Amino acid sequence: TKRGNEWTTPKSMGLPLNTTEDDRYYVINSKGDRGYFSSNRASSNGKGKNDIYTVTPGILGEKPVIALLKGTIYANDQPIEAKVEIIRNIPKDQFSKEELEILSQNEISSDGRLVVGTYYSNSSTGKYLTTINPGSIYKVRVSADKYEAVEEDLDVEKLAEYKEIVKDFYLVSTQTVVATNVTTAITPTVAVVTPTITETPTVAVVTPTVAETPTTAVTTSPCSGGTLPDFGPLKGKSLNDATYYNQLLNMAGNYCASSLIFKVQIGAYRKPDNFKYPNLQVYGKAEIINYPDGITRFTQKEFTTLRDAEAQRQKAIAKGQKDAWIVAFVDGKRYTLEDLIMLDFLGKTIN
């Protein structure tokens, strides 16, 4: 029993809550209306190996003060499995005696950065979920092999009640992308500036750029009629899985709607100067936009249907851009295809 800020002497609740077995780790949910505990009891159809049981409190329990941190991690705008480290960044001498007793010396760096938890996002969906105790300002560090790590501050120092915090993270490749077997397309810098117009590489590279009209979305097939399909089977699924991606193409590949366009994204970088795409110059000049998240994204061409955009994506892949993918724009706002599915294509009216 809690009286004010003090707990009275603990007392056994008796069967069936307390048994002679190892009953421990009682916690309640954020609403205070359901409790959970672990027990190795063999009764109650238990397996005898620390099963988890639920219990309904006789009165509402005290709601926990904690932050629930969740979100999705993307690499080049695709869901990815990444390491999520929760770091407490305070001087070592500010840790309490109890904290120091339970912490290994190896967990605290020389600058006082303590990794209080390490987690990994789901490899298919990129989603992660963890809880964070209040009372500190933390850093959330997200990293994955061959991608730049990112860090963000999380201030829950004065948190006074349960709170859900959604943070999505976007990683970009650390590798410089240079196409292979295109030396002749890169080298003729002189050929571009010289008045000679019979140079074949110059024509191949420059002519589509002049003819390119990237602000106009095009389609090579008519839009299908009818209503939007039920995207339920695809919600929460990773389109990196060819089965789900092909299912999306079959369901909505030919749909088009007002203010909805699809673009083929060929690169996303924090250091855009590293990105070269001479292998794709034949498809015109890329549209380059630096977004608020600090990532510069490169797209080529616009289409009114997903299927036409996919045809262009396959052309880019054939030219060596293996990680080309498709993004959607609704009224000028950018969405990943997974986001668009979760929003049911924003209920856009089909043309």
pLDDT tens digit string along 14-37?
A: 777 677 788 887 777 766 778 888
Same domain? For 298 and 324 the reply is yes
Q: State how beta strands 6-7 and 2-3 pair.
A: antiparallel
DSSP state of 130: E
Residues 150, 245 within the same domain: no
Cβ atoms < 10 Å from Cβ of 229:
15
Q: Which of 60, 3, 54 is nearest to 26 (CA)?
A: 54
Is 324 in the same domain as 190? yes
Contact 205, 199 (CB under 8 A): no
Write out the two tokens for 105: 């010396």
Highest mean pLDDT out of 108-112, 204-208, 295-299: 295-299
Cα distance between residue 278 and residue 40, in whole Å: 63
Q: What is the DSSP letter of 232?
A: G
pLDDT at 299 > cutoff 50: yes
Q: How many domains would you assign to the chain? A: 3
Cα–Cα distance, 170 to 269 (Å, whole number): 10
Q: Which two tokens stand for residue 295?
A: 């990532």
User: How far is the C-alpha of 107 from the C-alpha of 158, rounded, in Å?
Assistant: 25
Q: What is the pLDDT of residues 55-79, one digit of tens each?
A: 877 655 566 788 889 999 988 778 8
pLDDT at 349 over 50: no
State which residues form the domain around 191: 183-347
Give pLDDT, residue 89.
Answer: 67
Instruction: State pLDDT tens for residues 226-273.
Output: 577 888 888 888 888 888 899 999 988 888 888 899 999 998 887 788
Residue 286 sits in the same domain as residue 139 = no
pLDDT for the residue 168: 87
- pLDDT > 90? residue 311: yes
Q: Are 41 and 65 in contact (CB under 8 A)?
A: no
Q: What's the mean pLDDT when you consider all of the chain?
A: 75
Is the residue at 142 inside a domain?
yes
In a domain, 228, yes or no: yes
**Alpha-carbon gap, residue 43 to 189, rounded angstroms:** 80
> Does 153 have pLDDT greater than 50?
yes
Greater confidence, 3 or 38?
38
Q: Classify residue 176: in a domain, yes or no.
A: no
Listed residue (283, 244, 282, 287) closest to 268, CA to CA: 287
Nearest C-alpha neighbor of 131 from the set 69, 63, 87, 64: 69
Q: Which one-letter DSSP state was computed for residue 298?
A: E
Domain for residue 177, yes or no?
no
| pTM of structure | 0.49
